[in-house]
Amino acid sequence: MNIPLVYEYLIYVAAIIVGIVLLIFLRRASKLPTHQKLQEHMAAHLQDMDGYVTSLREGKETGVRFFKKISKLLYTTDKLIYAASALARKERDTDIDNVSVLLEKTRNDLLPYKYGKREQYDLAGMEQASRELRAALDVMRDVLARDEQLKARSAK
C-alpha cells in the first residue's frame, strides 16, 4: 500500500469533516428566531430603551456614552428588523411584516440622534421610538395569540 496515498485520503477526509462542521455552524448562525423569541428580544429592547430614556432624563449620559448607546440601540433595532422581515418573507405573514415596518419607524426615530440632527436632551424622538416599539410588541403579542389559537384548533 502506498503511504503518501493514505495521507492524501486522510487530508481529504479532514477537509470534508471541517466543511461539514462549518456548514453546521453557519446554519445555526443564520437560523431565524421563533415568534416567541422575537417577542422576547423586542421586549428586552423596549426595556433597554426605556431605561436609557430615564437615565437621559436624570442627566447621567453625556457625549461619547450617548453616541455609543444610540449606536447600540440602532444596531439592536436593525437586527430585529432583519429577523422580522426575514420571518415575514419566509412565512408570508403580513402581521409580522407590520412588525418590521413599525421597527423601521423606530429606527427612523432614533437615527437623528446618531447623526447629530437632534440633541440628546430632546427626548421627543426617543419617546416616539419607544411608542413605535410598543406598538410592534402589541402586534407581536397578537401574532402569538393567533398562533395559540391555530395550535388549539389543529389539536382538535
Quick one: 5 and 63 in the same domain?
no
Helix (H) or strand (E) holding 62: none
pLDDT at residue 150, rounded to an integer: 87
- Contact status, residue 107 vs residue 77, Cβ threshold 8 Å: yes
The count of C-alpha atoms lying within 13 angstroms of the C-alpha of 95, restricted to the half-sphere facing its C-beta, is 12
pLDDT of residue 145: 92
Split into its structural domains, the chain has a count of 2
pLDDT score for 128:
92
Sign of CA dihedral 142, 145, 149, 150: positive
Question: ∠ CA 104-114-136 to the nearest 5 degrees?
Answer: 25
Tens place of pLDDT per residue across the chain (156 aa): 567 888 889 999 999 999 999 999 998 888 888 889 999 999 999 999 999 888 888 877 777 888 888 999 999 999 999 999 999 999 998 999 999 999 999 999 999 988 878 777 788 888 999 999 999 999 999 999 998 998 888 887
Query: Are 117 and 58 in the same domain?
Result: yes
Torsion angle (degrees, nearest 10) of CA 13, 15, 16, 17: 90
27 and 40 inside one domain: no
Same domain, residue pair 133 and 64: yes
- Please check whether residues 26 and 38 belong to one and the same domain: no
Cβ proximity of 118 and 112 under 8 Å: yes
> Do residues 38 and 87 share a domain?
yes
- Alpha carbon 33 to chain centroid, angstroms: 9
Looking at the fold, whether 38 and 103 belong to one and the same domain comes out as yes
**Confidence (pLDDT) at 114:** 85
Q: Domain holding 50: CATH number?
A: 1.20.120
Q: Is 43 found in the same domain as 20? A: no
Range of the domain at 8: 1-31
- pLDDT at position 122 is 80
| Residue 10 shares a structural domain with residue 58 | no
Q: What is the phi/psi pair of residue 32, to 5°?
A: -75, 150
Position 17 scores a pLDDT of: 95
Q: Assess whether 83 and 150 both reside in one domain.
A: yes
62 and 20, same structural domain? Answer: no
Q: Does residue 51 sit in the same domain as residue 90? A: yes
- Name the helix (H) or strand (E) containing 57: helix 35-57
